[in-house]
Structure formats: structure tokens, C-alpha cells
């Protein structure tokens, strides 16, 4: 690396000549970005090389379908401690660092909280010196690029690899061959028997490594992403000569499709097969690398494997880790069943991220048996042995087996497999973990309570506060120094400033600067002029019925109607901002996006409410967009149906940036309430136990709420009376879901309490000093929600690092 600004400039200009073949002055911003990225990534790999081969360090392999790492240049520069030097050096050369940063494409490696959490965890592992290795898939086209056309979501390919990705290195020497299909053969000799898996289809899994630099630039976590290629160049020339051109390249297309897209639509048989291939591919390739490396270091010393290696599965997508590790140990390394099972059940741990039944993956037995015959044999045996282990005299044994068996009703239940084969099972917020223990996995909890524990999620405060919010970062540094960047708990020192008018005024000025930045982005990107002096009321999440973006838009419609008829209370002007994607096949969620955009069109063009209310939908939400949005927020909308959100991480990002949470007692909102105090958060609505009771008893009748409350009825009727669309059936599905399908997520039930809570929060905003003090308290209490704290708990209490 370079020690001063002049050394940086000299080296940078030299790199330009070497890499581009032209002097710096004649390079484009894109070329300048790639040159800078090459310089920085070379240094990151030097750090990785210095620490990556320490035999004595226990290694943690984190398996996840998603790693939403975002742009990395700012991360690297900040964590290496050279951002100011590089920025000043580029300025001397006539270049702008921010312009170069905008040249970086965000990698399409995730969708939402699950992937961003995994990325935060890699950052924190590096910061804390945990030897962390991410293991996922290098999706060629990511999830999709969201485009809003005529108010509706349209999905386009996210070709993020259109240009080279500068941070990755292809590792051909670590290529793994992965098998699908074929048959299992049993062999026996001298009373000993074994199995081989033969035939079928082989694909090449080629790894690309991305270093994730930790705070202070002393450690690096490695993210390994697998890309699929054909086992051999199997071009069918005979088919081509017959004019069957697609058939001639079918094998290549089938192999490469495995790593094309995140979450292909699995509503059809081909989609299910592709999803299962993806899940097996990155598990098999990752485990093969782990075992090969372990064998090179330690030989056949398998009994100590659990003390040297931790394998963590992030949700059920990597659930095949356990049976596949069994298969490799037994078939490739000649380990007996009992020893292999002992290794697996001391090495593999599992985090559950959801209680939604559709997200607790189940695969048809026929598909798995055909695609993964040997792995399925092992799953059968794990299931058989587990059933035998359930005590004969246990109460309601048939019900217990029905709830806990891996194989049931023609399916392989991946959550059950994960629980049975893991030594640790954790939820991601206190409430979520209690729901897992007492409701979702209650029979498992009774059988093996020692496995269950809670690890409340956290986010990288360096990424989502220090890097995203420079005005606030500078203010905090002035007040308490810079130690908080390495230790987020030190943010609590800000409490001493809560009665300092000068600090509170500076805090408001920082928020104003962030609002102006976001307002400019919305003007350019969304063609909407928001109200900079108004409240920024923001909800950014993946679209799903339980997250209740619909409840939010109903509040807006109700407020709009009351502004028109003169019954609205006197409140500050307000900007309502939404962002998030709906799954391609999720009609209800896509209809809600369309509704938001139609409401926005109606309200934003109504001169009667000009200056009082604006509605904006930000298309194609990403990590980078989030880093613009979180610092500008005043109100953080966290309004999911109680008991449905596992944790949430957006709530933490907003809190760190001084937004006040308006939410239900769901997910990590419970712990935010505990940390910040009830006077510094607004909570409303049904509690989780009340939701469960109403569902069990059937006491809630949505139609009665619709008919019994004139304001609710007016809002619901506006969906189909032409107020927001000339096509009266555009939103009939939403109305029917609420009124005639009994409103499963209690939108109408919570609506009055929600509106009352929102109005209360808006009135607090009018008292600027009081609001700024509440904002400061949220920032000061947010250190608990750093992913550094979460990873330390994982390392100390699960992985044993």
C-alpha cells in the first residue's frame, strides 16, 4: 500500500499506464475506477494471503444463497483507512472519487435482508479476526432489475457482469465437479460394503473469490462464489447438422443455467429442479473444498474436524450440508457412519430466518431421489434413525413424528433436516426465537431444548452509518471521537449530548443535508419534487403481504381523503417513500406496488394538497439506494403483522441514522423498544399472542370491520370505485383478500391504531428540539444492533472461535 498522498498519486498514474495503456489524463471515469479497484484489491489479497493459512485458527464457513455485498470501493477505502488520502490525491489529479464510485455496478447476489445480513457478517468476521469464509453462487443475472412502467413492476435481466467485476479472482485450480442424477451401486468385499455414485450429469463448479476487508484493514474474509460450466465442451455436431441448433448446445445451456438467476420461479417442475440443483451445487462444491483443504492440512485426523471447522447454514437453502458432508466423509474418505454423524452433528449449525410456511422449504421426494440418489439415501437413513430415537412412550407420538420427521407426505422437509443434523438452532430476534420454540418447532424444542438459542441480528454500522451518512459520522466524531467505528457500543456516549442545544441543532442540520441529497436523487431518478422541509416517512422492504405495505398506503389514502374534506389534523408536510421488489410470480405484492404508484400519481397531481403530501416509489431498490435513503428518514415504518417478521434489519439501519421507529411489537422492534425506551419509539397494534389467538379462535371478522368503520370502508371502496384506476377490477384482488378472505394479516384490524400512532408521531415532529433529542437517543442506543455484537455472540456461543 502507499504511505502518503504523493506515493498514491505516483502509483495510481503508473497503474493507469500499465493497465489501460494511456496516461491518467486520457482515461475515462470507468477506466479510472477499474485502475483504482485493481490497486486496492491487490492490497486486499496481500492481507488475505498473510492470514489465510493459519492452521491453528478455527475456520467458519458461512453457507448462504445470498450475499448482498453492494459496492465495495468505499468499504475498502474506509476499512483500509485511506479514503481521505485517496480522495485528496484524486482531487489533485483532477478526478472526483464519488464519480469513480458511481462507476461500480452492484453485484446481483441477493434480494433482501437475508443476503445483506450475510454480507454484514463477513464484514464483522473480518473486523473481529474470525476466520470467515462465505460460500454462495455467482449469479450471472442476479434476481432481476426492477423497472416501473405505467405504475407496474416489470422484471428485466440484471446483467451486472456485463463488464468485468474488478474485485473477484477466478480460481480454476479449485474447480469442483458436481454430479446430478445417475445411480448408486452397492459394493461388498470381505464383509465390508460401500457405495459409489456413478453416471448422470457432471458440471464444473468454478470458484470466484472476493476479499471482504475488515475494519482497520488487518483481516479479510473470503467470499467464494460458484459459477457453473459444462463438464466438457459437449457440442453436438450431428444435431447441429440436422438443423437442431438448440439441441446442439443444450448440455452447455443446462449447465450454465444453474448459476444464471437467484430464485428461479419454482411453481413448475423445471423451476423446482433448477432450484434444487442450485442448492446442491453450492453445498457440494463448498464442502468439497473444505474437506480437500482439511485433508491437505491434517490428513485423516477427522475426529478433530469439529474443533477446527464450523459450518453454518443461513436458512434452509444450504440444508443439504449435513447429508452431503456425510456422503463425502463416507464415500470419498472412507469414514464409517457413526464417526461421520458425530462429525456432522458437532460441525453444522443452523439459523432459521422465517416462520412462513412457504419459506420452510419442502422438496418432492421423487425429484430429490432422481437428482441426488446417494444423498437422498443418506437422508432416508437419518430420518429412519431419528424416528427410532423418539421415545415410544412420548405423549402424542404420532403427532410428534408428523411434525418432526424429515420425510413426510411425499416431501423432504429441509427445516426438519437442518434441526436434526445441527448442534445449534438459532432464531434471529428474541420474539422470533420464542415463536420457534413454542409454536413452529415446539415438538423439536421439547425433544432437544439444548439446541435452541437466540442471536439477534445486527447490521454493519460502518457501512450503514459511517459510510452512508458522512454528515452524521463527522458530528459523532467531533462529540465522542472515532473509537465507535471499531466498537459500536461506544455510541452510547452520545447520551451526554441530549441536553446540548448546539449538538441537537447540528444533528438536525445533518439530517437536513441528507434529506436534500435524497430529494435531488428522487427529482432526477423518480421525476418527483418532494418537500425537503417535510417529514420523510419511509418504508423500504421486500414486498409481501405480512410486511403490510398495504396498511401504509391505506393510511395515506385515508389522510388524503381527510385533507380533502377538511377533517385532517394539523400536521407537518409529509413525504411518503416506498421501495422494494415483489417476487416475479407474487401477484398480490405486485398489485400493491401498482396501487402505490396510482395513489402517487393521483396525490402528486392534486393541487388541493400541494405542499402537504407527496408519495414516491423508488424503483430497483439496492444497497446503494438504501445508503441514500436510510440517513434521510425521519419515520421508519416497521409495521409487519406481529409474530410474522423474524427480525428485520432495515429497522436497525434506520435507527442508527436517527429515524424514529413506528412499528408493531414484531421481530427486533421488541429489542429496539427495550434499548431505546417506550418514549423514543411508537408502538401500535395487535401483539403476537393476540394474532395467534384470533387465528385459532376465528374471532376476527374482517367484513365486520369493513362495514363498521366508515373511514375503513371509504378507503377499501376506493380500490374499486374508479378513484385510482379507470379499470375497476385492477385492485379487486386486494379488496377480496381483505374483505372476503378475512384479512389474514390483520390490515383492517390494525388500521385505526396505526393511523392514531402515526398522527402521534407526526405531532412530536413539530416540536423540533424534542424530536432531535429522541433521534439522538435512537442513535446512542443503536450500538447493540451492530453485526459485530452478533458475530461475537455466534463466535463465542455457537462456533467456539
pLDDT at residue 51, as a whole number: 63
* Residue labelled with grid coordinates 378513484: 723
Whether residue 54 is predicted with pLDDT greater than 60 in this model: the reply is: no
User: How do residues 364-392 score in pLDDT, each as one tens digit?
Assistant: 999 999 999 999 999 999 999 999 999 99
pLDDT at residue 248, as a whole number: 61
pLDDT at residue 111, as a whole number: 85
User: Which range (147-151, 236-240, 327-331) has the least confidence?
Assistant: 236-240
Helix ranges (DSSP H) in 581-701? 587-604, 623-629, 650-656, 669-676, 688-697
pLDDT tier for residue 279 given thresholds of 50, 70 and 90:
very high
pLDDT at residue 485, as a whole number: 97
Taking residues 136-157, report their average pLDDT. 96
Whether residue 52 is predicted with pLDDT greater than 60 in this model: the reply is: no
* Residue labelled with grid coordinates 401483539: 687
CB 787 within 8 A of CB 665: no
User: How do residues 292-311 score in pLDDT, each as one tens digit?
Assistant: 999 999 999 999 999 999 99
Whether residue 56 is predicted with pLDDT greater than 70 in this model: the reply is: no
**Short-list 636, 425, 459, 423, CA closest to 541:** 636
- As a dihedral over the C-alpha atoms of residue 792, residue 794, residue 796, residue 801, rounded to 10 degrees, the angle is -100
pLDDT at residue 157, as a whole number: 94
pLDDT at residue 265, as a whole number: 84
Taking residues 492-504, report their average pLDDT. 97
pLDDT at residue 664, as a whole number: 98
Taking residues 52-65, report their average pLDDT. 80
- 3-class secondary structure, 662: strand
Residues tagged active-site: 353, 541-542, 547, 649, 653
- Model confidence pTM above 0.75: yes
pLDDT at residue 53, as a whole number: 53
Q: Please give the C-alpha separations between residue 376 and each of 52, 386, 554, in angstroms, as whole numbers.
A: 34, 15, 48
Distance of alpha carbon 680 from alpha carbon 290, whole angstroms: 47
pLDDT at residue 3, as a whole number: 86
Residue 169: other Cβ atoms inside 10 A? 12
pLDDT at residue 48, as a whole number: 73
Whether residue 55 is predicted with pLDDT greater than 60 in this model: the reply is: no
Query: What is the average pLDDT score of the chain?
Result: 95
**Short-list 501, 522, 623, CA closest to 575:** 522
- Residues in CB range of 446: below 8 A, 6 or more apart: 400
pLDDT at residue 113, as a whole number: 86
Instruction: Output the DSSP codes for 427-458.
Output: ESSHHHHHHIIIIITHHHHHH-GGGEEE----
User: How do residues 70-98 score in pLDDT, each as one tens digit?
Assistant: 999 999 999 999 999 999 999 999 999 99
pLDDT at residue 251, as a whole number: 81
pLDDT tier for residue 245 given thresholds of 50, 70 and 90:
low
pLDDT at residue 43, as a whole number: 80
Cell of 711: 373511514
Whether residue 122 is predicted with pLDDT greater than 70 in this model: the reply is: yes
User: How do residues 598-610 score in pLDDT, each as one tens digit?
Assistant: 999 999 999 999 9
User: How do residues 635-685 score in pLDDT, each as one tens digit?
Assistant: 999 999 999 999 999 999 999 999 999 999 999 999 999 999 999 999 999
Whether residue 469 is predicted with pLDDT greater than 90 in this model: the reply is: yes
Beta bridge partners of 206: 227
- 3-class secondary structure, 760: helix
Residue 210: other Cβ atoms inside 10 A? 26
pLDDT at residue 505, as a whole number: 98
Cell of 64: 448462504
pLDDT at residue 23, as a whole number: 93
pLDDT tier for residue 315 given thresholds of 50, 70 and 90:
very high
pLDDT tier for residue 190 given thresholds of 50, 70 and 90:
confident
Residue bearing the bigger pLDDT, 50 or 324? 324
Amino acid at each position: 500500500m502507499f504511505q502518503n498522498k504523493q506515493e498514491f498519486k505516483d502509483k495510481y498514474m503508473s497503474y493507469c499506464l500499465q493497465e489501460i495503456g494511456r496516461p491518467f489524463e486520457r482515461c475515462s471515469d470507468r477506466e479510472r475506477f477499474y485502475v483504482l479497484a485493481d490497486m486496492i484489491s491487490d492490497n486486499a489479497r496481500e492481507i488475505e494471503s498473510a492470514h489465510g493459512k493459519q492452521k491453528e485458527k478455527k475456520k467458519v464457513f458461512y453457507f448462504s444463497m445470498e450475499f448482498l455485498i453492494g459496492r465495495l470501493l468505499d468499504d475498502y477505502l474506509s476499512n483500509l483507512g485511506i479514503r481521505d488520502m485517496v480522495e485528496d490525491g484524486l482531487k489533485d489529479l483532477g478526478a472526483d472519487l464519488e464519480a469513480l464510485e458511481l462507476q461500480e455496478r452492484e453485484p446481483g447476489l441477493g434480494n433482501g435482508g437475508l443476503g445483506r445480513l450475510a454480507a454484514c457478517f463477513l464484514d464483522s468476521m473480518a473486523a473481529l479476526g474470525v476466520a470467515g469464509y462465505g460460500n454462495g453462487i455467482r449469479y450471472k443475472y442476479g434476481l432481476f432489475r426492477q423497472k416501473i412502467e405505467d405504475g407496474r413492476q416489470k422484471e428485466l435481466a440484471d446483467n451486472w457482469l456485463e463488464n468485468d467485476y474488478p474485485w473477484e479472482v477466478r480460481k480454476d485450480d479449485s474447480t469442483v465437479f458436481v454430479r446430478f442424477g445417475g445411480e448408486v451401486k452397492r459394493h461388498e468385499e470381505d464383509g465390508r460394503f460401500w457405495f459409489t455414485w456413478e453416471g448422470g450429469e457432471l458440471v464444473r463448479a468454478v470458484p470466484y473469490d472476493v476479499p471482504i476487508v475488515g475494519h482497520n484493514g488487518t483481516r479479510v474474509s473470503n467470499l467464494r462464489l460458484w459459477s457453473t460450466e459444462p463438464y466438457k465442451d459437449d457440442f453436438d455436431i450431428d444435431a447441429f447438422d440436422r438443423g437442431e441448433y438448440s439441441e446442439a448446445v443444450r448440455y452447455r445451456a443446462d449447465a450454465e443455467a444453474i448459476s444464471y438467476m437467484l430464485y428461479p420461479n419454482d411453481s413448475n417442475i423445471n423451476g423446482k429442479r433448477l432450484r434444487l440443483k442450485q442448492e446442491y451445487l453450492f453445498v457440494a462444491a463448498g464442502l468439497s473444498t473444505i474437506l480437500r483443504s482439511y485433508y491437505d492440512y491434517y490428513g485423516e485426523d477427522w475426529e478433530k474436524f469439529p474443533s477446527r471447522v464450523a459450518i453454518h447454514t443461513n436458512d434452509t437453502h444450504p440444508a443439504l450440508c449435513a447429508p452431503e458432508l456425510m456422503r463425502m466423509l463416507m464415500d470419498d474418505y472412507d469414514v464409517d457412519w457413526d464417526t461421520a454423524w458425530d462429525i456432522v452433528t458437532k460441525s453444522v449449525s443452523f439459523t432459521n430466518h422465517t416462520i412462513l410456511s412457504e419459506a420452510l422449504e419442502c422438496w418432492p421426494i421423487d425429484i430429490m431421489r432422481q437428482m441426488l440418489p446417494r444423498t437422498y439415501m443418506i437422508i432416508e437413513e437419518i430420518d429412519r434413525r431419528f424416528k427410532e430415537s423418539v421415545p415410544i412412550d412420548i405423549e402424542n407420538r404420532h403427532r410428534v413424528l408428523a411434525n418432526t420427521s424429515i420425510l413426510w407426505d411425499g416431501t423432504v422437509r429441509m427445516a426438519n433436516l437442518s434441526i436434526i443434523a445441527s448442534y445449534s438452532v438459532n432464531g434471529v430476534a428474541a420474539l422470533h426465537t420464542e415463536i420457534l420454540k413454542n409454536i413452529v418447532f415446539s415438538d423439536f424444542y421439547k425433544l432437544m431444548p439444548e439446541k435452541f438459542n437466540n442471536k439477534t441480528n445486527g447490521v454493519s454500522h460502518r457501512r450503514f452509518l459511517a459510510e452512508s451518512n458522512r454528515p452524521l459520522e463527522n458530528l459523532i466524531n467531533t462529540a465522542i471521537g472515532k473509537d465507535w467505528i471499531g466498537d459500536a457500543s461506544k455510541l452510547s456516549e452520545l447520551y451526554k449530548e441530549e441536553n446540548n442545544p448546539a449538538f441537537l441543532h447540528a444533528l438536525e442540520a445533518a439530517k437536513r443535508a441528507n434529506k436534500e441529497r435524497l430529494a435531488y436523487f428522487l427529482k432526477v431518478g423518480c421525476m418527483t419534487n418532494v418537500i425537503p422541509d417535510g417529514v420523510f416517512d419511509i418504508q423500504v422492504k421486500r414486498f409481501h403481504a405480512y410486511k403490510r405495505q398495504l396498511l401504509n398506503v391505506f393510511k395515506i389514502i385515508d389522510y388524503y381523503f381527510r385533507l380533502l374534506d377538511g377533517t385532517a389534523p394539523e400536521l407537518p408536510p409529509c413525504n411518503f417513500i416506498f421501495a422494494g421488489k415483489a417476487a416475479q410470480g407474487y401477484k398480490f405484492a405486485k398489485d400493491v406496488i401498482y396501487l402505490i404508484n396510482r395513489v402517487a400519481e393521483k396525490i402528486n397531481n392534486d393541487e388541493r394538497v400541494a405542499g402537504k403530501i407527496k408519495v414516491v416509489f423508488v424503483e430497483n431498490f439496492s444497497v446503494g439506494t438504501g445508503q441514500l435513503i436510510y440517513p434521510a428518514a425521519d419515520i421508519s415504518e416497521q409495521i409487519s403483522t406481529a409474530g410474522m417478521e423474524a427480525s428485520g434489519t432495515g429497522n436497525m439501519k434506520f435507527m442508527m441514522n436517527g429515524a424514529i421507529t413506528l412499528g408493531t411489537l414484531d421481530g427486533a422492534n421488541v429489542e429496539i423498544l427495550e434499548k431505546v425506551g417506550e418514549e423514543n419509539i411508537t408502538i401500535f397494534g395487535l401483539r403476537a399472542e393476540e394474532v395467534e389467538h384470533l387465528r385459532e379462535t376465528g374471532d376476527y371478522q374482517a367484513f365486520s370491520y369493513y362495514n363498521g368503520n366508515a373511514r375503513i370502508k371509504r378507503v377499501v371502496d376506493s380500490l374499486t370505485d374508479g378513484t385510482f384506476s379507470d379499470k375497476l377490477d385492477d385492485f379487486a384482488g386486494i379488496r377480496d383478500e381483505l374483505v372476503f378472505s378475512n384479512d389474514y394479516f390483520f390490515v383492517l384490524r390494525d388500521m385505526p391504531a396505526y393511523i392514531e400512532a402515526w398522527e402521534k408521531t407526526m405531532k412530536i415532529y413539530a416540536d423540533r428540539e424534542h424530536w432531535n433529542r429522541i433521534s439522538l437517543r435512537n442513535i446512542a442506543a443503536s450500538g447493540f444492533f451492530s453485526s459485530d455484537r452478533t458475530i461475537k455472540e455466534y463466535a463465542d456461543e455457537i462456533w467456539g472461535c
